[in-house]
């Protein structure tokens, strides 16, 4: 697989990053995951904008224009003969002899772009997943998309090990923040779609933003507010969104079965609308 690592094209096999890379030593790096489907990068503009925002939030800049990044991404798609797949972009603050403070360090950000091939086509109707809840032990800025993902990694691994598709984080008052790698939504008993507002406790999902627009276009009423476990107990439908799962229905949260364990029609409609919008 041809990749772009440490500012040059190379095969993944020959890719090299210094052990003094601050991303490796401190998680001092930011990232994006962008889906590619039949000639199109999904929500490209939003992802590149958020990448810049993440860098600025942790105080560095990348000396590559968006069009330079897109040119690299396109070359990787073409040379690796990818029809459907994803692009992982990571930018670390740079490489230097290890020290916590980067003040006055002569650092140059390191750009890595890794393509991934996905074989299957995307199904409009998919089975729902079960999720479990766990307290959100992340740092106070989960709205920055950094590679410091240990709580997410542990929670997701526990989910998969126990037959769940995702872990949902709960804040101190037991309201859902988000999934370990997704945003969370419910459709309440009054057919109002609810997802947590961008209150700093969740990542501003790019798919979340697109789904908000899809819902509005379909005249579905949306409210951005906190979701409690009682709200989940009473809800008609639930789903998660992310660049890699689009809209994925949730049919069980802990022991609470949603919609008799069946995938709901709003979840299907939004998944279909999102995928068709990107045809
Ligand atoms: N994760 N919340 C968290 C914690 C995430 O890691 C993600 C995405 C999202 C959804 O964001 P978006 O819609 O922009 O993908 C929300 C990616 C897919 C990942 O880490 O692989």
Does the Cβ of 147 fall within 6 Å of ligand 1?
no
- Atom 4 of ligand 1: nearest residue by CA position: 181
Does the Cβ of 203 fall within 6 Å of ligand 1?
yes
pLDDT at 53: 98
Mutate to test the pocket of ligand 1, among 203, 204, 210, 211 (most ligand atoms within 8 A of CB): 203
What is the Cα–Cα distance from 71 to 80, expressed in whole angstroms?
14
Range of lowest pLDDT (19-28, 150-159, 270-279): 270-279
- Which ligand 1 atom is the nearest neighbour of the CA of 243? 15
pLDDT average, residue stretch 159-166: 98
pLDDT at 125: 85
- What is the pTM (predicted TM-score) of this model? 0.97
pLDDT at 7: 84
- Which ligand 1 atom is the nearest neighbour of the CA of 208? 13
**Residue 64, φ and ψ in degrees, nearest 5:** -130, 135
Does the Cβ of 208 fall within 6 Å of ligand 1?
yes
pLDDT at 254: 98
254: left (phi over 0), alpha (psi -120 to 50) or beta: left
pLDDT at 121: 72
What is the Cα–Cα distance from 206 to 217, expressed in whole angstroms?
17
**Residue 277: band (very low, low, confident or very high) from pLDDT cuts 50, 70, 90:** confident
CA–centroid distance, residue 180 to ligand 1 (Å)? 8
Burial class (CB in 10 A: 0-12, 13-18, 19+), 237: buried
pLDDT at 124: 84
- Which ligand 1 atom is the nearest neighbour of the CA of 206? 14
Does the Cβ of 176 fall within 6 Å of ligand 1?
no
Kindly provide the b/e burial profile for residues 204-225, where b requires at least 16 CB atoms within 10 angstroms of the residue's own CB. Answer: ebbbbbbbbebbeeeebebeee
**Residue 253, φ and ψ in degrees, nearest 5:** -120, 115
Does the Cβ of 241 fall within 6 Å of ligand 1?
yes
Dump pLDDT digits (tens) for 181-237: 999 999 999 999 999 999 999 999 999 999 999 999 999 999 999 999 999 999 999
Q: Is residue 23 within 8 Å of 90, Cβ to Cβ?
A: yes
Torsion of CA 257, 193, 211, 62, to 10 degrees: -90
Structure tokens given for 2:
């041809």
Tell me the catalytic residues: 145
What is the Cα–Cα distance from 170 to 174, expressed in whole angstroms?
5
pLDDT at 191: 96
At which residue do the structure tokens 């039949």 appear? 38
Q: Go through the domains of the chain in sequence order and give each one's CATH number.
A: 2-117 (3.30.470.10), 129-277 (3.20.10.10)
| CA-based torsion, 93, 96, 102, 105: positive or negative | negative
pLDDT at 68: 98
pLDDT average, residue stretch 75-101: 97
Does the Cβ of 210 fall within 6 Å of ligand 1?
no
Higher pLDDT, 124 or 101: 101
Mutate to test the pocket of ligand 1, among 34, 181, 207, 271 (most ligand atoms within 8 A of CB): 181
> DSSP letters of 93-138?
--B-S--S--TT-----EEEEEEEE--SPPPSS---EEEEEEE--S
- Which ligand 1 atom is the nearest neighbour of the CA of 180? 4
pLDDT average, residue stretch 44-55: 98
142: left (phi over 0), alpha (psi -120 to 50) or beta: alpha
| CA-based torsion, 22, 114, 35, 110: positive or negative | positive
Closest CA to 179 of 158, 202, 197, 200: 202
Structure tokens given for 203:
């990542």
- Which ligand 1 atom is the nearest neighbour of the CA of 46? 14
CA–centroid distance, residue 69 to ligand 1 (Å)? 20
What is the Cα–Cα distance from 264 to 279, expressed in whole angstroms?
23
Residues constituting the chain: 279
Q: Is residue 61 within 8 Å of 48, Cβ to Cβ?
A: no
Dump pLDDT digits (tens) for 228-267: 999 999 999 999 999 999 999 999 999 999 999 999 999 9
Mutate to test the pocket of ligand 1, among 149, 205, 245 (most ligand atoms within 8 A of CB): 205
pLDDT at 278: 78
What is the Cα–Cα distance from 103 to 120, expressed in whole angstroms?
47
pLDDT average, residue stretch 173-182: 98
Has residue 38 got a pLDDT over 90?
A: no
């Amino acid at each position: 697989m041809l990749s772009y690592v440490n500012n040059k094209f190379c095969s993944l096999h020959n890719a090299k990053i210094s052990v003094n890379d601050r991303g490796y030593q401190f998680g001092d790096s930011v990232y994006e995951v962008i889906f590619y489907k039949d000639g199109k990068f999904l929500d490209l503009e939003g992802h590149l904008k958020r990448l810049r925002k993440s860098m600025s939030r942790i105080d560095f800049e990348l000396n590559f224009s968006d069009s330079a990044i897109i040119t690299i991404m396109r070359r990787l798609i073409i040379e690796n003969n990818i029809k459907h797949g994803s692009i992982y972009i990571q930018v670390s603050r740079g490489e230097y002899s290890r020290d916590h403070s980067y003040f006055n360090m002569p650092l140059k950000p390191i750009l890595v772009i890794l393509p991934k091939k996905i074989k299957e086509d995307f199904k409009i109707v998919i089975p729902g997943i079960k999720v479990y809840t766990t307290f959100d032990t992340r740092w106070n800025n989960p709205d920055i998309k950094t590679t410091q993902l240990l709580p997410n990694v542990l929670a997701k691994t526990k989910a998969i090990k126990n037959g769940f598709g995702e872990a949902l984080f709960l804040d101190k008052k037991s309201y859902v923040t988000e999934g370990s790698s997704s945003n969370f939504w419910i459709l309440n008993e009054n057919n109002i779609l609810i997802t947590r507002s961008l209150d700093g406790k969740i990542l501003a999902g790019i798919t979340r933003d697109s789904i908000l627009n899809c819902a509005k276009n379909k005249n579905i009423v949306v409210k951005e507010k906190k979701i409690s476990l009682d709200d989940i107990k009473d809800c008609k439908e639930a789903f998660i969104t992310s660049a890699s799962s689009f809209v994925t229905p949730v049919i069980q949260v802990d022991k609470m079965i949603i919609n008799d364990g069946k995938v709901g029609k709003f979840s299907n409609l939004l998944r279909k609308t999102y995928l068709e919008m990107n045809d």
